Structure 1
Amino acid sequence: MTGSAKLPVWFWIVTIVLVLWEAMGCVACVMQIRLGAEAMGSVDEWSRNYYAALPVWYNWVYAVATFGGLLGGLALLLRKRLAATLFWISLVAVVVMFGYAFTATDLIAHKGVGEVLPFPLFIAGVGVFSIWFTNLAAKRGWLTA
């Protein structure tokens, strides 16, 4: 079903939702890089110090995670197999980013697992889903080289 064959409406709905999700991630990334902790509104001194202490490479990994995901979503929208590679790059960056935050900082000790872990797990879950969905589309012949 490659070429000009009609795809199911749900393919387009899921793909557009993924693109919008990734675009929101890019906005959050740019805001965090520009504003630090204040990107989340009114924050305490610990949060300001935490964001100020993040290494420079962390922002680059965050950018790869978010913009890589957006490029993956756009590639999926264009029905390109490259989407899977871009989603994988994004997911690896997500793992590196949160892996550092959870193991090399006192974020969990300060805020607690219940407050810190759910959203990163959701983000990683969306990344895994994006890869699965792209592979499904490829297997069904909906993507082109």
Structure 2
Amino acid sequence: MSEYKEPASVKTPWHLWLVGGLSVFWNGFGCVDYIMTATRNAAYLKPYPQEMLDYWLNMPTWMWAAWAVGVFGGLFGSLALLLRRKVAFPFFAASFVTSSISMSFGFLDKNAPRMEGANIMSGIILLIAFLLALYAWWMSRRDVLR
């Protein structure tokens, strides 16, 4: 009679801890930015020009929702990655998709005020969101995430 053996678990690669840890800080900052803006924290918003504040604080509800899914999806994806859960990929994918939608709308809106370097920063944010989703998908494919 043969004995059933559990499949050998895949060892967690060192880079998962590095990527997961850095992404918690990165996405955590996005969550802080969202919360401080949504709660209209005067000290946090003080450096921004009034026309930017007027635009941000009067965004339609769907833009606030897309922004929330983008930042909190990224944070939840980061935590799921550190917990080695496959749900990291859907969280990161939702973060990338909703961030792409909201940033595209802001970019195409002719009435939106422009800040120097904002387009570059938006591109960096989207690139990082895409790369995190790709990384989570890759870790899932390698059975590192369960």
Which bin holds the TM-score, normalised by the shorter protein?
0.7 to 0.9
Q: Structure 2: state its 5+ residue gaps.
A: 1-6
Deviations, residues 18-44 of structure 1 (Å, cap 9, x unaligned): 122111111111011111786443232
8 Å contact 2:67–2:99 — kept in the other structure? yes
> How far did residue 93 of structure 1 move?
0.9
| 1:69 correspondence with 2:74 | yes
What is the alpha-carbon root mean square deviation over aligned residues?
2.2
Q: Which moved more, 1:8-17 or 1:87-96?
A: 8-17
Asked if the contact 1:36–1:48 (Cα under 8 Å) also holds between the matched residues in 2, the reply is no
Distance 1:44 1:19, change over 3 A: closer
The correspondence for 1:44, drawn from 49, 59, 72, is 49
Equivalent pair of 2:16/2:82 in contact (CA under 8 Å): no
Name the structure with the higher helix share: 1
Counterpart selection for 1:111 from 110, 114, 118:
114
Larger of the two Rg values belongs to structure:
2
Give the Cα–Cα distance (whole angstroms) in 2 for the partners of residues 77 and 130 of structure 1. Answer: 12
Which range is displaced more, 50-59 or 127-136? Answer: 50-59
* 2:101 counterpart (96, 99, 121): 96
- Asked whether the equivalents of residues 95 and 124 of structure 1 are also in contact (C-alpha less than 8 Å), the reply is yes
Q: Is 2:61 the counterpart of 1:56? A: yes
1:126 maps onto 2:128 in alignment: yes
From the superposition, tell whether residues 95 and 37 of structure 1 become closer, same or farther in structure 2 (CA, over 3 Å): farther
The yes-or-no answer on 1:15 pairing with 2:20 is yes
SS at match of 2:40: helix
**Of 84, 88, 103, the match for 1:83:** 88
Instruction: Tell me if the contact between 2:70 and 2:95 (Cα under 8 Å) persists in the aligned partners.
Output: yes
- So what's the TM-score if we normalise by structure 2? 0.83
Unaligned 5+ runs, structure 1: none
Cα distance 1:45–1:11, how it changes in 2: closer, same or farther (>3 A)?
closer
Q: 1:69 to 1:30 in 2, by over 3 A?
A: same
Partners of 2:139 and 2:11 in 1: CA distance: 13
Paired with 2:97 and 2:42, the residues of 1 have a C-alpha distance of 24
Per mean C-alpha deviation after superposition, the further-off stretch among 51-60 and 95-104 is 51-60
